[in-house]
Amino acid sequence: MQATPLSDAPRAASRALTRGDYKTLTLAALGGALEFYDFIIFVFFAPVIGQLFFPPSIPDWLRQLQTFGIFAAGYLARPLGGIIMAHFGDLLGRKRMFTLSVLLMSVPTLLMGLLPTYASIGLMAPVLLLLFRVMQGAAVGGEVPGAWVFVSEHVPGRHVGYACGTLTAGLTAGILLGSLIATAINKTFAPAEVADFAWRLPFLLGGLFGLCSVYLRRWLHETPVFAELQKRKSLAAELPLKAVLRDHGRAVVISMLLTWMLSAAIVVVILMTPTLLQKQFHIAPATVLVANCAATLCLTIGCVLSGAIAGRIGAGKTIFIGGVALGVSYWLMFRQVSLDVSVLLPWYALAGFFVGVIGAIPFVMVNAFPPAVRFSGISFSYNVAYAVFGGLTPIVVSLMMKSSPMAPALYVGALCAIGALTTLFIRENR
């Protein structure tokens, strides 16, 4: 498989970023942040949702299992939604699917905020909740790869790394936004008020902001790369995914392995670590939350920097160095916190910064597939790998912790090593 360089696109590869480029990046990153916020806000209110949407007579463990099962359904729906949207994105245009993904996310999020509870409509409450969650998963499955493709095909070739890093930073900022709003809700309202009505506010806000993002994306234009493909009548002559699986197996494997590293970095370091630290070192939830917010903020900064660096020195070197730094810093964080809890904030912030190496991974994927099947190639590789590895990661880490308290650091270190080795097989096109 020989990657098609982005400089083949009908763009001046060496020109500076224009005001229009920055507008495109800003609107894309903003929409991505709001969409990721909509997708992740569910987990912050899972305990309340479990109490309200399932029969009060069932055991707590079963209620928790069913609640997180609905949360996981969103991940399982990502591949199907992503592949379908990518198919039409390669045949009908990037912009249409880019706008559709935000609409498909904002509507069910808004409806979640308005949904009657089990006490009002019985079993229809969890059924509708599951339906809306599946719609969210399908939407985010199309949004993430679609956003990477959209921004990379708009900017000059030498700025593609920066564009991918900036877009990824926007996605991770959505996680930070969800954490901050969840904290504000729980500090502003009493537990009884949260269970009564306040839990709905983050969903209503997310839905409304998402609809605003749909309107703003009307001002975006189709990518020059896709417009040129249409002009030359060079669109995929067959099912794009069929061409991906037949002709670009190497690119798919590399993209999946790097997505495995990406999922470990996000799921373990950012999403699981707060709970792990509370259980293992008995750290106060408020302390862990502040440190996690600092780590997520540093992650956002790290994404932009790693994407920009990848565009200059190559994605392979960037991911190799950043992956090693992530594995080492996360290991040291656990070691140092076991000795002195007061050092959590700086060490977690440092590890979060190196998680930002994931900002260089979409740059590899964009370069790995030719424009005619790029959306489908990235969407299939990323969404299938994330659904499998992202879904299994919490289970694997939990089982490993029975043998070693350093299991999270060992798992992240192993995946960083896999990511670093994978970079040896990347064919750079800078």
Taking the C-alpha atoms of residue 298 and residue 292, their distance in angstroms, rounded to an integer, is 10
- What's the pLDDT score for residue 20? 80
CA neighbor of 9 nearest in space, from 146, 159, 145: 159
Look-up: residue for tokens 């896709």? Answer: 226
Run of H or E residues at 258: helix 249-264
pLDDT tens digits, 207-229: 998 888 888 777 778 777 877 87
pLDDT tens digits, 54-86: 888 777 777 767 777 787 777 788 888 888 888
Residues 321-340 as b/e (b if ≥16 CB within 10 A, e otherwise) read bbbbbbbebbbebbeebeee
Single pTM value for the model:
0.85
Q: Letter for the amino acid at 43?
A: V
- What's the pLDDT score for residue 346? 96
Taking the C-alpha atoms of residue 62 and residue 69, their distance in angstroms, rounded to an integer, is 10
Residues 99-132 as b/e (b if ≥16 CB within 10 A, e otherwise) read bbbbebbbbbbbbbbebebbeeeeeebbebbbeb
Look-up: residue for tokens 């537990």? Answer: 191
The CATH fold of domain 18-235: Growth Hormone; Chain: A; (1.20.1250)
Sequence ranges of the domains in the chain? 18-235, 243-430
Mean of the per-residue pLDDT values of the chain: 86
Give the pLDDT band (50/70/90) at residue 298: very high
Domains 18-235 and 243-430 share a fold: yes
Average pLDDT over residues 322-337: 95
- What's the pLDDT score for residue 6? 39
- With contact defined as beta carbons under 8 Å apart, do 139 and 98 qualify? no
Lowest mean pLDDT among 35-49, 202-216, 246-260, 409-423: 35-49
pLDDT tens digits, 87-141: 888 888 788 887 888 888 899 999 999 999 999 999 899 999 999 989 988 888 8
- What's the pLDDT score for residue 430? 43
At residue 196, does pLDDT exceed 50?
Answer: yes
389: DSSP letter: I
- What's the pLDDT score for residue 234? 65
Residues in CB range of 259: below 8 A, 6 or more apart: 361, 381, 382, 385, 386, 389
Burial of 315 (0-12, 13-18, 19+ CB in 10 A): buried
Lowest mean pLDDT among 311-320, 363-372, 421-430: 421-430
Taking the C-alpha atoms of residue 408 and residue 387, their distance in angstroms, rounded to an integer, is 19
pLDDT greater at residue 160 or residue 56: 160
- With contact defined as beta carbons under 8 Å apart, do 125 and 118 qualify? yes
Lowest mean pLDDT among 119-133, 239-253, 267-281, 349-363: 267-281
Lowest mean pLDDT among 256-260, 324-328, 341-345: 341-345
- What's the pLDDT score for residue 64? 67
- What's the pLDDT score for residue 405? 85
Which CATH architecture group holds 243-430? Up-down Bundle (1.20)
DSSP string, 97-150: HHHHHHHHHHHHHHHHHH---HHHHTTHHHHHHHHHHHHHHHHHHHHHHHHHHH
Residues 226-246 as b/e (b if ≥16 CB within 10 A, e otherwise) read bebbeeeeebbeeebbebbee
At residue 377, does pLDDT exceed 50?
Answer: yes
